[in-house]
Amino acid sequence: MENSSDSYNIKMLNGLVVKDLSFNQVLEGITKGKFLPSDFINNIDGDWIHLKESDFFRKPIKKFNGWMVLFVLSSILNLLMLLLLFWQNGRIEQLLN
pLDDT at 10 over 70: yes
Of 27, 22, 26, 24, nearest in space to 7 by CA: 22
What is the per-residue pLDDT for 5? 57
Q: How far apart are CA 52 and CA 39, in angstroms?
A: 8
List C-alpha distances in Å: 38 to 11, 17, 51, 64, 68: 10, 14, 6, 30, 35
- 36: number of CA atoms within 13 Å, CB side? 6
What pLDDT, in 10s, does the model give residues 13-42?
A: 898 999 899 989 998 998 898 999 889 998
Q: Which amino acid is at 20?
A: D
Confidence of residue 82 (pLDDT cuts 50, 70, 90): very high
Q: Are 52 and 12 in contact (CB under 8 A)?
A: no
What is the per-residue pLDDT for 77? 98
